[in-house]
Amino acid sequence: MDLNSDLGEGFGAWKMGDDEAMLDIVTSANIACGFHAGDPSVMRRVCDLAAGRGVAIGAHVGYHDLAGFGRRALDIAPDELADEVLYQIGALDAFARAAGSRVTYVKPHGALYNTAAVDVEQAAAIVDGLRRYDPALALLCLPDSEMQRQAEKAGVVTYAEAFADRAYTADGKLVSRKKPGAVLHDADLVAKRAVGMATGGVVTADGTKLELRPDSLCVHGDTPGAVELARRIEAALTEAGVQLGAFTG
């Protein structure tokens, strides 16, 4: 089972999360590419840290929205979105290769992730940008989403993701961050959910039983107490006999 986190989300003088501590725990790092967060120096530093630890590097592409941290949906033409995805992957891959590694997958961020999960045009644009850079890159996304369908249609390998620290709706989507309880902070609960997700168990969401079979579990780097949550998840998975390892090489 892969354990991933959104990292490199500081910008200039603004620090977000503890990238170094998280990289001692996770097996894959979704690194911001400068559009929703991150800047060249942050990207270089986090790529260096990830490469030095053997952590897989993914391009965490988002809307061009630093002020809104990429959590505001933008009405953007598909061709323009594909270009922006291509631009972001290329920028991060330059730093990854300079660190002796490379980008092996793409994971959209925030509002782009949520929109492309249900919007055919935006999902196809993400896949288009990915393929134009390197069709061998994988796409990390919600299972049974438009992103997964458009990627599979284009011959792009997908991996299913589940969120240990996020609440789900009855239809398997993420609860909006605007609603109370959308982000989970109880370490015991999050660790228990992670084991359930990883072992094919069920997760209760809105009173509905959901069966999730993810290839990767995410703990958000900007969640308060994220490092402790990640440590608890790692320990719980190990205790349950779940071997951790990146889904890409």
Say how far apart CA 221 and CA 42 lie, in whole Å. Answer: 14
Sign of CA dihedral 225, 57, 248, 171: positive
For 98-113, the pLDDT digits (tens) are 999 999 999 999 999 9
Contact 61, 108 (CB under 8 A): yes
| Distance set, CA 57 to CA 32, 152, 177, 201, 238 (Å) | 10, 22, 26, 28, 23
CB hemisphere CA count around 232 (13 angstroms): 18
Whole-model pTM over 0.85: yes
For 24-66, the pLDDT digits (tens) are 999 999 999 999 999 999 999 999 999 999 999 999 999 999 9
